[in-house]
Amino acid sequence: MNIRVAVLAVLTLTMALAMGPAASAATDGSARVALVIGNAVYPDSEAPLKEPINDARDVAAELKRNGFDVETGENMTGDAMRLALKRLYTRIKPGSVALIFFSGYGIQSGRQSYLIPVDAQLWTEADVRRDGFSLETILGEINNRGAGVKIALLDASRRNPFERRFRSFSAGLAPVIAPSGSLVMYSAALSSVVGDVSADHSLFVSELLKEIRVPGLTAEQTLNRTRVGVTRASRAEQVPWISSSLAEDFYFVPGQGGQADAALMPSTPHRPQAQAPSAPVAPPPSASAPPASDPAASAAPAPAPATTPAESMAPPHTPAPSQTPAVASAPSEPAPSPAQVPEPAAEPRPQARDDHKTELALAEDPTIKSLTARIAAKTDDASALYRRGQVYASKGAYALAIKDFDATIRLNPKDVEAYNNRCWVRTVIGELQAARRDCDEALRLRRNFVDALDSRGLLNLKSGANKKAIADFDAALKINPRLTSSLYGRGLARQRSGAVAEGSLDIANAKAMDPDIAKEFAGYGVR
């Protein structure tokens, strides 16, 4: 169900139009470079680490969506890391934003933090300095190449098998002496380590991805919110460390000003690898009421009604509850099979003529106009098609959103995000059989993809397959226990299955985390 949050990334383009050349430079892919490394298979370790590969892939995908030119490395040897760093340095131009993300083992030695390649041979602390890569050296070289903003994100505060070989050592990572204009974050406090986890994604990366998708936050705000989220989720057992010497504001996803940014700022965690929270979606557009022009049709349940251009860009959590068709209580089990799931006549897919009218009504939207120009110049620009689909969905133009997701998938049949988002849109408008195929394909492409589990849980809830909904929401909550939508959805499914007390507890806990969660589900036609 991540479209409700991922869609916010499209605001980057709108901000660029509003701010002119300076913003355009900031969102230009050539001005943002990143190296993302996930090292999981260390021969000296008893078993491969579970999180680094998944985390590196998810971080890389998000950075690409936000305009970074990203190189990704998995299970990199010392030679491979050395060459990758050299390539990173050569891609830096004066004023660039340069980011390095590392997940794997890190070691503190001589008051410096070292990133460890998978083939490191470490028996003494001198070996650490020989085979490891000093974070201070990396940041210094990035600075020497002229980068204006230097960001390092390290999920390397793990107890590692090398440390026990040293007669004396300091656990965790050391404070970094970084050049001006740097922002550094460790997944845990200085000289602290994170306990072993059994999840496929780390808590740190889950919270980071949730916050990095929120528009209008400076990089410092993004990382501070990540620290708060990790601290709360771990009950203060894990407290990330941040060091900043930034002299200018940098935004992963620019917003459109104070009021819009405040309205879009999530109050609860999101679902996947940890993203921002969800909210209800506007009803499908009609010929008589284009979604972009009717303030009532785009009013979010929590923020004030959308009456300004910035507010009209709110994510797909927007309808007034009275406009959303209610769905009758779900039937009891056994649930219908996918082939038998009825598609509610109350939520028909718009006709082609309505699609055209809606498309014309939205054509002058700054973000859509910019994306359409990109697509016209390069018809196989999958990223632009995907982003435009998100904008259409955010404005209730679901049929147009599906067309863009269709095109994205034709260009890249393995685009798991496009499958998941198309599943979610189809679920909202009642195309449940097609939605199920999309969710199943997303989960085939990425096993245990928490967004798709959450989306399919909603799909099963709407179709009356309560036991299946519980199973999907259970799986999602196992990955991210703070996923409010899955907690609330499971509560509804449990109540409908007869487990009233358990369901009521889930619902109460979800409402405590997000007081507007019931309005969100009402926006999906689920009460």
Q: Is the pLDDT of residue 256 over 70?
A: no
The model's pLDDT over 286-327, given as tens digits with 9 standing for 90+, comes to 333 333 333 333 333 333 333 333 333 333 333 333 333 333
Question: What integer pLDDT is reported at residue 89 of this predicted model?
Answer: 96
pLDDT tens digits for range 258-297: 333 332 333 333 333 333 333 333 333 333 333 333 333 3
CATH of domain 27-258: 3.40.50.1460
Q: Which position has the higher pLDDT, 409 or 19? A: 409
Rounded to an integer, what distance in angstroms lies between the CA atom of residue 48 and that of residue 375?
Answer: 42
Q: What is the mean pLDDT of the chain?
A: 76
Burial class (CB in 10 A: 0-12, 13-18, 19+), 13: buried
Residue 166: its pLDDT value, please? 60
Query: pLDDT tens across 157-206, in order?
Result: 887 777 666 644 556 788 888 898 999 999 998 878 886 666 678 999 99
- The residue extents of the domains of the chain are 27-258, 295-522
Write down the pLDDT at residue 514.
76
pLDDT of residue 453: 93
pLDDT value of residue 369: 84
Which of 134-148, 164-178, 225-239, 359-373 is predicted least confidently? 164-178
> Is the pLDDT score of 482 beyond 80?
no
Identify the pLDDT of residue 16: 41
Give the pTM: 0.48
The whole-angstrom separation of Cα 133 and Cα 190 is 18
**What is the fold, at CATH topology level, of the domain defined by 295-522?**
1.25.40
pLDDT at 3: 54
Check whether 383 has a pLDDT greater than 90: no
Contacts of 25 (CB under 8 A, 6+ apart): 31, 95
CA-to-CA dists, residue 436 to 276, 326, 335, 439, angstroms: 23, 21, 14, 5
Given the structure tokens 């989960």, which residue do they identify? 443
